[in-house]
Structure 1
Amino acid sequence: MTKNLEIYQQFAGLFRYPRADFVEELVELRNQLEMLHLGDLIEFEKYANYMLALNLQEREEIFLKTFEIQAICHLEIGYVLFGEDYKRGLFLAGMKEEHRKRDHDCGLELPDHLSNVLDLLSGMDDEELVKDIAELALIPGVRAMLSAFDEKQIRGRLELLKKKQEAIVQEELNYGNPYRYALDSLLKALEADFPGVPEGRQDQAAGNFIPIHRAEGGEISVCALARPPAELVQGD
């Protein structure tokens, strides 16, 4: 168990649009993972070796192909867990409030973007809230993202695009995509810090697990998603 939450701020950089300092950040993360003795780093090394062999433009292209253009998966945790259900909006509002309370700038991404949630986790001192965000949002969300890289799912998605007669962009990047290894490395770190999360929680129906956290005075900081919005407004 690492319980060094700062490592998640470094992981966050892997899931942002690549910047000029990408190599330095990647090497620093690799060094930190080795120091924390997380065990098998084979998956991380696969990601690191792949990305270090590319120039900045190539890194940008593979990021866009993976997460933006005919995306393999999405990085917004609320969308991954809840789709277009109203619960996604509640979760997004709750995460926005947590970022606001900590003066955290989400940049151009939404508050539930994986990079922003990892940044948030790394700077939190509320142990109960850290545990809930990790176990009820991050771990199920990352598992769901990883499932999108399954070859069967990829084949089905590509076949659907072909049926729609859409030109497939860089089809070869759907298989052996390095971000699969980045997500796998992140999941291993999370599961080491927060063990015992049931596999079933990556299902959208499992979104009902996100609890309410109330501050003094009744402020809701993270939304309860098992109830209709009206009940949240009225309170318990």
Structure 2
Amino acid sequence: MNNNLEIYRQFSAPFRYPGLELIEELSNFKAQLELSHPGALPEFEKYVSHMLVLAPTQREEIFLKTFEVQAICHLEIGYVLFGEDYKRGLFLASMKEEHRRRCHDCGLELPDHLSNVLDLFSCLDDEDLVKDMAELALIPAVRSMLSAFDEKRIRDRIASLKKKQEAIVQEELNYGNPYRHALGALLMVLDHDFPGVPERHRGLTGNNFIPIHDSKDGELPMCAIACPSVEMAQGD
């Protein structure tokens, strides 16, 4: 395991709403990535090269088109892992508590938003917790996000929208979208730092990672709960 988790805090920049400081952040991050994970640099440079030629308003448009308006994928990890299942609520509540304990401001995004989870991940100091968070939450979620950019899935999605006679917003942004390279580079870094993740933890479904605190008996570290009990789900 790579003990330097600072790289994940820097990796949060591409997945926040792009501000004027983004280009400077990406330039600084590239230098760090070259030192720590040179194998992921070529993939990340594809994302950076695309963003560099865009005006600030264009960077905002492509972010909104990718993740908000007719979104290709969603950045909320709990939603990606659990959908509308009650476990998403548990995950979201616990993420909120972990951010609160570290006085971390999540801004306008939810606590389980990828950018906020990467910020949180970079602050963790418990090795078992870091491993669980990577293998049971981050890697499956990022793999699922990345799969949404598969060309066949995009074609099928556009065909479905057209069949429903919905207007396609900037259809060309579905193909060659730079965020697939940002997600691809992040997955490369995760796979490098946490090798040998069992296939069942890398799939798109069946993930049951619920980070929790015991409110009655004091704090517990976040942990992987394979099948949370009904009592736990109800907060009893």
1:118-176 Cα distance to aligned partner (Å, 9 max, x none): 00011121222121111110011000000000111111111111111000011111011
Q: Structure 1 residues 103 and 194, CA, compared in 2 at 3 Å: closer, same or farther?
A: same
The offset of 1:40, in angstroms, is 4.7
Q: What's the counterpart of residue 115 of structure 2? A: 115
Q: Does 1:102 align with 2:113?
A: no
The offset of 1:110, in angstroms, is 0.5
Partner SS, residue 50 of structure 1: helix
Identity %: 67
Q: Which amino acid aligns with 2:113?
A: H
Q: Which amino acid aligns with 2:217?
A: G
The offset of 1:222, in angstroms, is 3.5
Q: Structure 1 residues 192 and 77, CA, compared in 2 at 3 Å: closer, same or farther?
A: same
Q: Structure 1 residues 87 and 197, CA, compared in 2 at 3 Å: closer, same or farther?
A: same
Instruction: Find the aligned partners of 2:218 and 2:72 in 1 and give their Cα distance.
Output: 40
Instruction: Find the aligned partners of 2:8 and 2:86 in 1 and give their Cα distance.
Output: 28
Instruction: Find the aligned partners of 1:70 and 1:40 in 2 and give their Cα distance.
Output: 29
| Structure-1-length-normalised TM-score | 0.91
Q: What's the counterpart of residue 230 of structure 1? A: 231
- Count the aligned residue pairs: 234
| Structure-2-length-normalised TM-score | 0.91
Q: Does 1:138 align with 2:138?
A: yes
Partner SS, residue 43 of structure 1: helix
Q: Which amino acid aligns with 1:230?
A: E
Q: What's the counterpart of residue 56 of structure 1? A: 56
Q: What's the counterpart of residue 176 of structure 2? A: 176
The offset of 1:70, in angstroms, is 0.4
Q: What's the counterpart of residue 43 of structure 1? A: 43
Instruction: Find the aligned partners of 2:129 and 2:173 in 1 and give their Cα distance.
Output: 37
Partner SS, residue 207 of structure 1: coil
Q: What's the counterpart of residue 78 of structure 1? A: 78
Q: What's the counterpart of residue 195 of structure 1? A: 195
Instruction: Find the aligned partners of 2:93 and 2:222 in 1 and give their Cα distance.
Output: 8
1:190-211 Cα distance to aligned partner (Å, 9 max, x none): 1111111134435454222446
Q: Structure 1 residues 199 and 227, CA, compared in 2 at 3 Å: closer, same or farther?
A: same
Q: Structure 1 residues 15 and 194, CA, compared in 2 at 3 Å: closer, same or farther?
A: same
**Gaps (5+ residues) in structure 2?**
none
Q: Structure 1 residues 98 and 225, CA, compared in 2 at 3 Å: closer, same or farther?
A: farther
Q: What's the counterpart of residue 154 of structure 1? A: 154
Q: Which amino acid aligns with 2:95?
A: M
